[in-house]
Amino acid sequence: MLEVSHLACSRGDHRLFSDLSFVLESGQIMQVQGENGSGKTSLLRTLCGFLSPESGKILWDGTDMRELAEDYFANLLYLGHHNAIKDELSGVENLRISAGLAGIALDDKQAIAALRRMGLKGRERLPTKVLSQGQRRRVALARLLLGEAKLWVLDEPLAALDVGAVELVQTLIAEHLARQGMVIFTTHQPLEIAGMEMRRLSLS
Amino acid sequence: MAINWFKYSAPSTFYGLAGKLIPWFALPAAVLFVIGLYIGFFVAPTDAVQGEAYRIIFIHVPASILSMFLYLIMAGYAALGLIFNTRLSSMMATAIAPTGALFAFISLWTGALWGKPMWGAWWVWDARLTSELILLFLYFGFISLHASIDDPRRADRAAALLAVVGSVNVPIIYFSVKWWNTLHQGSTIKFTGTSMHVAMQQAMFITLVACWLYAIAVALTRVRSIILERERHTKWVADLAEVKA
Amino acid sequence: MNTLSVWQLLVLVVRRDLLLAMRRRADVFTTLIFFVMVVSLFPLGVGSEMELLRKMAPGVLWVAALLASMLSLGRLFSADYVDGTLEQMMLAPQSLSILVLGKMIAHWMVSGLPLVLIAPVLGIQFDLSAPAQGVLVLGLLLGTPVLSMIGGIGAALTLGLRGGGVLLSLLVLPLCIPVLIFGTGAVYAISAGLNGAMVSNLALLAAMLMFSLVLTPWVSAQALRISME
């Protein structure tokens, strides 16, 4: 369970949000809404511990995330604006490394299977610099297929994706929620999960 | 008298307190400088070995001492700011840095002035001068790092970490430079060694105290402008008499 | 699925950075060529008198190694910072210090080790004796990792700043002075026949290496967290 209480965050002199509180339970999904510059990305980055909040607390199963540190990170999967993939490496190499950083040992076979599910059949061994923007995003999204991270923090997961890939991401999220996972995300495109109540958090 | 220190750790209250304190440091500093330099230049006797040139120590020695202590104090404030996340400590560290650099520079400059008549060269690769030069580099590093980061919070924290790393390194640097100096059998400047006349000791002590007071006064003045700059959007700054005028 | 131990993670990061360096070989060679070039400039600058060159050799080689490692330090974290990998590293379920240590080791293997290996060739240019050569290489072997590690702190602090490269050198060079002194001191000592001083210089370098191994990954990790905000 993720519990955020009285969170406040500023960038420079500018106050982004304050007194923000919410609770995210297992199997729930929440969309963070707001205009450009309203602090959506900052909120997600605060949840990942990159930014320290000005005030307020973030609790994971009742314990402060700062205390849990690595134990909290083990439960977290973050997908940011950047794909965190290397142009020089192939999809398989990239995926194996990002899985490794998340603490998961992955062999070639598993990596190829994950990439194929993301619709990259035949491109698994190509250096990612020859792939299109959308295909690179798919390589990054393949991380969603690995590991048992309970909380997914997705910043614009649908950016640069085509219709097929958007559907795939929706399926993955639905599966994750069915496994009692949690998702918190931002998007500028419509994202619907069939049969799930979508909670919304508005930053203004 | 019990003072509530936490109250004064808020920039808004400290701004006023610093304003009141500055004259109490600045005035004695000026008076003591005059007294100390008078004793140093007119009362203290001419040195048997070094002649009149030795009188530069009344500036050189306090400046050297201050430059070293100020680095440690700066690093101390920086560490406080880093650990307890107190903004005022970080501001103090930032405010002290230029004064420390200035003293390091004065120390080098006066050292060179002393070296010319004594050694026939403006610069001697003596252990103490070399360490002082490296110390000046460390100050430059702190100031430039702070200046090149736009976000004040990141600037404070990054520069603070550098200062702490620097202060851990300072003893190693001093030791290594001394070591280097003995290995290469370079010349060593000795200011002391011969017994000092009482008037010399007095003059040195008085100028040292004056330098301390000056450093505190300047640091407080600088921290006041830093507070104003950082807090320019707050209400209490807008309400200040000097801002309204 | 299997989870990775600390050591496996360390190996993974080192292997990854080495793999990337292999794919961008040009970067590795520029550092090496820079080192050779700077060292070769000195005789042109001060004249070809062998006695003088022999005396200058350790200092020249060490200063050039210092500058060469500064040159490559800018890349230590910046590529990972730009493409978002650094964020993923900070979310690793192991301590960030371990990942940072891995990156430092890889950086040394790519930019420090080649300098150590080529140093004897350059030593010949300066007519260094065989024992002096040996001590020089040993000193570089102990000292260049320290440069990579202290440099890592600077690289982390200047992450994403404009003019980061020059600033990085300004921050790191003063901190590297002891390494320079002990490294060159060892060679001077052996040339002067002072075996005891040679051993103590090398011992001090080894001590600095141990000290840096323990402290710098943690400090750099803190610096990275500060810079990522």
What digits encode the pLDDT tens for the residues C30-58? 999 999 999 999 999 988 888 899 888 99
C206 reaches B (C-beta below 8 A)? no
Quick check: A12 and B151 CB within 8 A? yes
Quick check: A12 and B233 CB within 8 A? no
Quick check: B176 and C163 CB within 8 A? no
What confidence category does residue B187 fall into, taking pLDDT thresholds of 50, 70 and 90? very low
User: From residue C43, how far is each of A126, C35, C40, C65, C136 by CA, in Å?
Assistant: 48, 14, 6, 17, 19
For chain C, how far is it from start to end, CA to CA, in angstroms? 32
How far A65 CA sits from the closest chain B CA (Å)? 18
φ, ψ at B207 (rounded to 5°) = -65, -30
Query: Does B168 or B126 have the greater pLDDT score?
Result: B168
Mean pLDDT in residue range C145-157:
95
Confirm if B94 and B159 have CB atoms less than 8 A apart. yes
How far B8 CA sits from the closest chain A CA (Å)? 21
Instruction: Give chain B's contact residues with A (Cβ, < 8 Å).
Output: 151-152, 233
Residue B1 has pLDDT above 50, yes or no: no
Nearest chain B residue to A51 by CA distance is: B154
Instruction: Determine the residue among C226, C227, C228 to mutate to test chain B binding: the one whose Cβ has the most chain B Cβ atoms within 10 Å.
Output: C226
Q: Hey, is A64 helix, strand or coil?
A: strand
- For chain C, give the percent of residues with pLDDT over 90: 68
Q: For the segment B20-78, what is each residue's pLDDT rounded down to a tens digit? A: 999 999 999 999 999 999 988 888 888 777 777 788 888 998 999 999 999 999 999 99
d(CA A33, CA A189): 11
Selection from B85, B229, A27 nearest residue C229 by Cα:
B85
User: From residue A133, how far is each of A129, A140, A159, A198, C166 by CA, in Å?
Assistant: 9, 11, 9, 28, 34
Instruction: Determine the residue among A10, A101, A141 to mutate to test chain C binding: the one whose Cβ has the most chain C Cβ atoms within 10 Å.
Output: A101
User: From residue A27, how far is each of A58, A151, C196 by CA, in Å?
Assistant: 19, 10, 69
Query: What letter represents residue C215's amino acid?
Result: L
d(CA B207, CA B110): 15
B149 reaches C (C-beta below 8 A)? yes
- CB < 8 Å to B233, chain A: 13
Q: For the segment C68-85, what is each residue's pLDDT rounded down to a tens digit? A: 999 889 889 999 999 999
Residue B193 has pLDDT above 70, yes or no: no
Q: What is the pLDDT of residue B5?
A: 60
Top mean pLDDT of A195-204, B21-30, C160-169 is at B21-30
Mean pLDDT in residue range C221-228:
93
A102-119 burial: b if 16+ Cβ within 10 Å, else e: bbbbbeeebbbebbebbe
Tokens of A43: 């909120």
- For chain A, give the percent of residues with pLDDT over 90: 37
Alpha carbons within 13 angstroms on the beta-carbon side of residue B121 total 6
d(CA B166, CA B137): 11
d(CA A171, CA A177): 10
Cβ-based burial of A200 (10 A; exposed 0-12, middle 13-18, buried ≥19): exposed
- CB < 8 Å to B176, chain C: 177-178, 181-182, 204
What confidence category does residue B175 fall into, taking pLDDT thresholds of 50, 70 and 90? confident
Instruction: Determine the residue among B82, B151, B153, B234 to mutate to test chain A binding: the one whose Cβ has the most chain A Cβ atoms within 10 Å.
Output: B153
Three-class DSSP labels, chain B: CCCCHHHHCCHHHHHHHHHHHHHHHHHHHHHHHHHHHHHHHHHCCCECCCEHHHHHHHHHHHHHHHHHHHHHHHHHHHHHHHHHCCHHHHHHHHHHHHHHHHHHHHHHHHHHHHHHHHHCCCCCCCHHHHHHHHHHHHHHHHHHHHHHCCCHHHHHHHHHHHHHHHHHHHHHHHHHHHHHHHHCCCCCCCCCCCCCCHHHHHHHHHHHHHHHHHHHHHHHHHHHHHHHHHCCCCHHHHCCHHHHC
Quick check: A71 and C93 CB within 8 A? yes
B147 reaches C (C-beta below 8 A)? no
For chain C, the residue count is 229
Quick check: B151 and A13 CB within 8 A? no
CB-closest option in A48, A100, A148 to C4: A100
A12 reaches B (C-beta below 8 A)? yes
- CB < 8 Å to C182, chain B: 176, 179
d(CA B86, CA B8): 11
Summarize chain C as % helix, strand, coil (round to 5).
85, 0, 15
Residue C163 has pLDDT above 80, yes or no: no
- Interface A–C counts its CB contacts (< 8 A) at 94
Confirm if C148 and C116 have CB atoms less than 8 A apart. no
Instruction: Determine the residue among C11, C91, C103 to mutate to test chain A binding: the one whose Cβ has the most chain A Cβ atoms within 10 Å.
Output: C91
C44 reaches A (C-beta below 8 A)? no
φ, ψ at A158 (rounded to 5°) = -95, 0
Instruction: Give chain A's contact residues with C (Cβ, < 8 Å).
Output: 48-52, 70-71, 73-74, 76, 78, 80-86, 88-89, 93, 97-98, 100-106, 110, 146-148
Residue C116 has pLDDT above 50, yes or no: yes
Quick check: C91 and A78 CB within 8 A? yes
A13 reaches B (C-beta below 8 A)? yes
Instruction: Determine the residue among A9, A11, A13, A50 to mutate to test chain B binding: the one whose Cβ has the most chain B Cβ atoms within 10 Å.
Output: A13
What confidence category does residue B184 fall into, taking pLDDT thresholds of 50, 70 and 90? low
Nearest chain B residue to A12 by CA distance is: B151
Q: Hey, is A200 helix, strand or coil?
A: strand
Using CB atoms, which chains have 3+ pairs under 8 A with C?
A: A, B
Nearest chain B residue to C158 by CA distance is: B145
Q: Could you tell me which residues come within 8 angstroms of residue B216 by beta carbon, excluding any fewer than 6 positions away?
A: B25
Quick check: A70 and C83 CB within 8 A? no
- CB < 8 Å to B149, chain A: none
Nearest chain B residue to A15 by CA distance is: B233
Quick check: C3 and A103 CB within 8 A? yes
Q: What is the pLDDT of residue B41?
A: 86
Nearest chain A residue to C84 by CA distance is: A84
Mean pLDDT in residue range C198-219:
94
Tokens of A137: 């995003």
How far C85 CA sits from the closest chain A CA (Å)? 4
Selection from B38, B23, B9 nearest residue B206 by Cα:
B38
Q: What's the farthest any 2 CA atoms get from each other in chain C?
A: 66
Q: For the segment A47-66, what is each residue's pLDDT rounded down to a tens digit? A: 999 988 888 899 999 899 88
φ, ψ at B127 (rounded to 5°) = -55, -45
- For chain A, give the percent of residues with pLDDT over 70: 100
Q: For the segment A136-162, what is each residue's pLDDT rounded down to a tens digit? A: 999 999 999 987 889 999 999 888 888
A190 reaches B (C-beta below 8 A)? no
- CB < 8 Å to A12, chain B: 151-152
Query: What letter represents residue B211's amino acid?
Result: C
Beta bridge partners of A76: A151
Q: For the segment A67-94, what is each residue's pLDDT rounded down to a tens digit? A: 888 889 988 999 988 989 998 999 999 9
Quick check: B233 and A13 CB within 8 A? yes
d(CA A120, CA A130): 13
* Mean pLDDT computed over every residue of chain A: 89
